[in-house]
Structure 1
Amino acid sequence: MPAPSEALLLIDLQRDYFADPELDRCREDLVATCNDLVRAAREVGVPVVEVQTVHETDRSTWTLTMHEDGQGVVERGTEGVERVEGLDPGGAEVVEKTRDSAFFGTDLAERLRDAGVRRVVLCGVSTESCIAATARDAFALDLEATLVSDATASVDWSEHDHTLAMLETQHRQDVLTGAEVAERWRAEPGN
């Protein structure tokens, strides 16, 4: 089987982000779709990367809004930084980040380039922030991106829909369901 040209990125599927009632409401369905995608990726040899936001408790990595609010989230050593209940990334590589984009201040682009990846498949939260920032940076890095409509979520579904439509139009990024992505992987060995 040829080396896959795609990678699955699981973004910010961590406890603190599901403290919001709307994200908690859709958590089980979102996690189930992500787990289905992980299994499909493993079947065809697509690498899986779990991207986690991890902030230091000394505030050195906090964002401007965290400083303004005087409150940290996803801090190292807390329960909030842990993987959301039910997620099974199946031994995925882990990349830690401190900003919205999975590429900002990380070695993710180099890892993907070294693996021959030309397209990233994005799942996780939140659609209008970390998913969108990662998708925009993928575009800037000349990586194609697929946004998984039923494996991304937002506290505001109008923002979710608007963001997916904007990225599809502005950057010509695919918006597919998890089942459509898995079908594409199975139909196109080596992607």
Structure 2
Amino acid sequence: MPAPEAAGDALLLVDLQVDYFADDELARCRHDVVAACNRLADAAHRHGVPVVEIRTEHEPDRSTWTLTMLEDDQGVVVRDTPGAQRAEGLEPGEADCVVKTRDSAFFGTDLGERLAALDVRRVVLCGVSTESCVAATARDAFAHDLQVVLVSDATASLDPDEHDHTLEMLRVQHRQQVRTADEVVAAWDGDAPEGS
């Protein structure tokens, strides 16, 4: 049975894949982000919180490529390539998988239905990149009437200032919580006041 603070939660791991850590800034922080995500997944499993690994996978024939990928004539996270594999060190344990082709994990997927079937009322979001796929998923979670916790040290961006700006914007505009991985784990463990 989930701990009281964990009841109704789901952990979403967004785009923790090789291609998304190719940039120097993201490569630099990959180890820390992945370690924070692993801590969150471990705690989620202890408390019965569903874990969903969200992966982007594009078709080699370009049929799912975004406009910018087509303009740049460059595919990323193409199915069955090394770049589409999990980021090194990521070990989420037992996790459902949702495959997407656009920034939001809700767009063109059954994520909303899966979460509703599990009676999820709040999603804990981590992954990359903060200002694109994480933010798009957070906005769509808001549109699905889900509360959101954004995990500041388990998300990352090409630009650290953009990371901070995006988290603050989502906190203010959608009243979404911003916590550290340790704060989320402490709340699930019952070591933090509810709502902290």
Give structure 2 stretches of 5+ with no counterpart.
none
> Does residue 39 in structure 1 map to residue 32 in structure 2?
no
Write the distance in 1 (CA, Å) between the matches of 2:124 and 2:36: 13
> Does residue 67 in structure 1 map to residue 61 in structure 2?
no
Write the distance in 1 (CA, Å) between the matches of 2:152 and 2:80: 31
> Does residue 125 in structure 1 map to residue 128 in structure 2?
yes
Matched residue, 2:26: 23
Matched residue, 1:135: 138
CA offset digits 1:19-47 (Å, max 9, x no partner): 10100000001100000000000110100
Pick from 109, 112, 119: which aligns with 1:109? Answer: 112
What is the DSSP-based 3-state SS (H/G/I as helix, E as strand, rest coil) of the residue aligned with 1:121?
Answer: strand
Matched residue, 1:52: 55
What is the DSSP-based 3-state SS (H/G/I as helix, E as strand, rest coil) of the residue aligned with 1:165?
Answer: helix
Write the distance in 1 (CA, Å) between the matches of 2:64 and 2:72: 14
> Does residue 89 in structure 1 map to residue 92 in structure 2?
yes
Write the distance in 1 (CA, Å) between the matches of 2:61 and 2:180: 39
Matched residue, 2:173: 170
What is the DSSP-based 3-state SS (H/G/I as helix, E as strand, rest coil) of the residue aligned with 1:91?
Answer: coil
> Does residue 6 in structure 1 map to residue 9 in structure 2?
yes
Question: What's the TM-score, normalizing by structure 2?
Answer: 0.94
Write the distance in 1 (CA, Å) between the matches of 2:32 and 2:74: 29
State, as a whole percentage, how many aligned pairs show the same letter: 68
CA contact (8 A) 1:54 1:81 kept: yes
What is the DSSP-based 3-state SS (H/G/I as helix, E as strand, rest coil) of the residue aligned with 2:139?
Answer: helix
Give runs of ≥4 in structure 1 deviating > 6 Å: none
Q: CA deviation at 1:184?
A: 1.1
Write the distance in 1 (CA, Å) between the matches of 2:114 and 2:7: 14
Write the distance in 1 (CA, Å) between the matches of 2:15 and 2:150: 15
Write the distance in 2 (CA, Å) between the matches of 1:76 and 1:116: 31
Write the distance in 1 (CA, Å) between the matches of 2:179 and 2:98: 24
CA offset digits 1:53-86 (Å, max 9, x no partner): 0000000000000000001000001000000000
Q: CA deviation at 1:168?
A: 0.2
Aligned residues: 189
Write the distance in 1 (CA, Å) between the matches of 2:104 and 2:188: 25
What is the DSSP-based 3-state SS (H/G/I as helix, E as strand, rest coil) of the residue aligned with 2:127?
Answer: strand
CA contact (8 A) 1:4 1:116 kept: no
2:147 alignment partner AA: E
| Cα RMSD, aligned residues only | 1.3
